[in-house]
Structure 1
């Protein structure tokens, strides 16, 4: 307890003294502690003997001197006050906080804080040779003695008795911790190993100065593998939306045809190709592309953009009944002279020149219309011994001996026939107009059937039909004498009548 009395007395004296003496007492409290040298002191000529008083004095000395000397200093977050160096030093959170970083993250201490970085990207700072991770500051050994002694001033009324001597600690230029150097003002300043080129980073790494040290890191686009910086293949991690090309320390994104690279240099946006009018007719934009369309009657060419006319006439020979003419985007049907295009736009219909008056027949002639044309029939002239019975019939009188072996009547008839008409075809019919009891009738082609294109088929006792047996091509005019023979055995009579049939075969099959 004697030591506590000495310290307490020293503190009281210091408080009464000048600021220099107060600093000295704080030095005694802060650095000597229980190892303070043994000093002899009496207070007011009396010695302290009460144990209770001694304990109170010891507590007072501890609060006034020791606590105030350290706790009165405030440091910013991430730093703590060091009593010996009387400076704010960095707190190594990676050592004091085991759970600072979680998972696959590595804790890296920084000046005033710490960082959590992935293990794969961690670049271990190079430690200086023979240097621990943390070195306590070096200070003079105060336990071996003191540089000098001095006598404090004597209090009034204390007499001339010499007072106790107090140590004065002369602090020499204390060395700084590793990574720092002593500045001109006596403070420790950080050594920039990167600028001084005293680091041990290899050529593929970049030196980063830290408080009291340095670290070796890789530049952007590289990571540390086995002590070497290797290029990161960013394309493996899907940095680009579409196409990716890995480059040393970087990468480049590009887009497929039909897309443009956005300003972020990673994503792609669709190009509206239709805005540049690439198509001849219509354009439909699609994601990453476009489609051209053509108007009716056109088709897309092999280049995918040009529209070319469709030759509809080449599709079929039956598109038009006569002639097909291709037009841009469509087609047109035409008909030969004597016909006109029907309402359906494809069929040909006969133009009746006789009804329309579009003919050259005289008033004495009769206009006869047939498929694709017309003819002017002259007035009937009956050659002797025939006489005119009507405008289309000649008769040979039975009283005239010259008519005995001749047909009794000749009836003139006309008809038209399409070229190439399918066969067999019934084209004309004959019938007896007068019936005699006991008589029968025979129908036959008397003349004009040299090519055997026709034949007669009897349909009843008094009628028969003219049949087209072979296709006939026009234009052609065929005159047939169709004979009807009347036989009556009761009265022993045999006579005949003729229909002179003129057939106008058209040039076309319609």
Structure 2
């Protein structure tokens, strides 16, 4: 069957036929009413209603794209992306749907007159999604437009007239020939409903985030301040306010207090209190420790001075410094922690003085029989509490006789507690050994006897060293 139209060329026939075919594809029968693609005619309501392609079209969006239904079409957007209304530009079609007959640049042709005539409908601007269907072929304006007095079709503001079908959670946005249901900032469209976007899940805030309906609020941890961008945080230098009693060290988000040497940080973390070094150890000072703010001092008893290490005590030699009370006739003897003045030696009869420190009793004198031949005077000092056993004095024969042997022993008083004993080290020598610790101050006098025995000439004699021991008060 060929359609003849007067005054038209064959290529015009072909174009008209194509338009009619396309128009037939876009008609949904229903009481003679026509709906554009993306809409279906509701016989009960007698209106064209939107088709939800996201439910009816299998795999409408592929990959990681989410289908969002729109009036007359649908959108494919990345999942998690904030839903924004999409408005096609002039000459563009909606995303996710095929162009309708209304969107093609093909005029309608009235074939009843036998020649092509102009479209009785007004030429409208390019439609934007969603577009609304033509309710009737005989309607003067497309759905979404109203006929003005001058015969033109003006857009109907469905949002202003409150004739839209957006639900209460959505926002109506008027478009040419229709309207779009969208969401306000801070919400996105999910299942036709505007739901709050939880911005805190997407790291909108650097530190602390509190989601609120349609928005969010950022805050910072203690030690930080919120920047003017209301999202990021900057460190607070707490040391500028001098919170520490001594030193302050700023850290990221906090601070630390430190104390000068000799002080320790109190439990409040900011105050410094004096450190009692003397309470740490009794060996900090050799004698006595005195605590001072931030430090300590060592003190020594009389007769001692503080050594250059600041802790040890050294004996003052009063005999060398001249700080003694000895006369010119006396001899100054220094010992640990003090000194004494020794008088000039006086030998008791029948002994006679043979040197400054020795008395002798002559064998020719009958009064010297059974008496030691010589008495030698010696002096020594000893620290209190000295560890034992300790060799403290050595005794040795100065004259040797053929066939003679020697016996060394402690004679007389001075060793009642058996603090000492003689250990013979050779045939002619012996050592005085301290066997028990001594506590001072005290002065001990020991007679160390050396007995000479010669059986060849039947001789027996002895000599004595009278040893005076000054035991100091302190163990140094």
TM-score for the superposition, normalised by structure 2: 0.69
- 8 Å CA contact 2:419, 2:434 repeated in 1: yes
Residue 469, structure 1, aligned to residue 435, structure 2: yes
Aligned mate of 1:451, from 417, 428, 444: 417
Aligned mate of 2:407, from 425, 431, 442: 442
**Residue in 2 aligned with 1:66?**
none
Aligned partners of 1:332, 1:376: CA distance in 2, in Å?
Answer: 33
Bigger Rg, structure 1 or 2: 1
- 8 Å CA contact 2:84, 2:183 repeated in 1: no
State the secondary structure of the residue aligned to 1:354. Answer: helix
Shift of 1:471: 1.2
- 8 Å CA contact 1:135, 1:177 repeated in 2: no
Aligned mate of 1:236, from 180, 197, 201: 201
**Residue in 2 aligned with 1:204?**
169
* 1:174-233 Cα shifts (integer Å, max 9, x gaps): 954333334566554333332332333222222222223222222211222233222111
Aligned partners of 1:393, 1:277: CA distance in 2, in Å?
Answer: 78
Aligned mate of 1:224, from 189, 196, 218: 189
**Residue in 2 aligned with 1:408?**
373
Sort the Cα spacing of 1:122 and 1:438 in 2 relative to 1 into closer, same or farther, 3 A: closer
Aligned length: 379
Residue 383, structure 1, aligned to residue 362, structure 2: no
Sort the Cα spacing of 1:384 and 1:225 in 2 relative to 1 into closer, same or farther, 3 A: same
State the secondary structure of the residue aligned to 1:465. Answer: strand
- 8 Å CA contact 2:70, 2:180 repeated in 1: no
**182-191 or 229-238, which deviates more:** 182-191
Aligned partners of 1:466, 1:142: CA distance in 2, in Å?
Answer: 151
- 8 Å CA contact 1:339, 1:349 repeated in 2: yes
* 1:313-343 Cα shifts (integer Å, max 9, x gaps): 3333323222233334433322222111222
**333-342 or 380-389, which deviates more:** 380-389
- 8 Å CA contact 1:393, 1:409 repeated in 2: yes
Sort the Cα spacing of 1:420 and 1:473 in 2 relative to 1 into closer, same or farther, 3 A: same
Aligned partners of 1:133, 1:227: CA distance in 2, in Å?
Answer: 27
Aligned mate of 1:326, from 271, 285, 291: 291
Shift of 1:249: 1.4
Alignment of 1:144-223 (within 5 A): 175-183=140-148, 187-223=152-188
Aligned partners of 2:176, 2:158: CA distance in 1, in Å?
Answer: 10
Shift of 1:106: 7.6
Alignment of 1:215-364 (within 5 A): 215-364=180-329
Aligned CA RMSD, in angstroms, stands at: 3.9
Alignment of 1:423-438 (within 5 A): 423-438=388-403
Aligned partners of 2:388, 2:259: CA distance in 1, in Å?
Answer: 46
Aligned partners of 2:285, 2:431: CA distance in 1, in Å?
Answer: 34
**Residue in 2 aligned with 1:483?**
449
Sort the Cα spacing of 1:346 and 1:180 in 2 relative to 1 into closer, same or farther, 3 A: same
Shift of 1:352: 0.7
**Structure with higher RCO (Cα < 8 A, 6+ apart):** 2
State the secondary structure of the residue aligned to 2:314. Answer: strand
- 8 Å CA contact 1:420, 1:471 repeated in 2: yes
- 8 Å CA contact 1:106, 1:122 repeated in 2: no
Instruction: Extract unaligned runs of 5+ from structure 1.
Output: 1-33, 36-54, 63-91, 93-100, 126-131, 145-168
Sort the Cα spacing of 1:435 and 1:205 in 2 relative to 1 into closer, same or farther, 3 A: same
Sort the Cα spacing of 1:495 and 1:118 in 2 relative to 1 into closer, same or farther, 3 A: closer
Aligned partners of 1:458, 1:324: CA distance in 2, in Å?
Answer: 44
State the secondary structure of the residue aligned to 2:408. Answer: strand
**Residue in 1 aligned with 2:91?**
none
* 1:322-378 Cα shifts (integer Å, max 9, x gaps): 223333443332222211122222222111111111122233322111011111222
Shift of 1:117: 6.3
- 8 Å CA contact 2:246, 2:259 repeated in 1: yes
Shift of 1:255: 2.2
State the secondary structure of the residue aligned to 1:340. Answer: strand
TM-score for the superposition, normalised by structure 1: 0.65
Greater helix content: 1
- 8 Å CA contact 1:365, 1:377 repeated in 2: yes
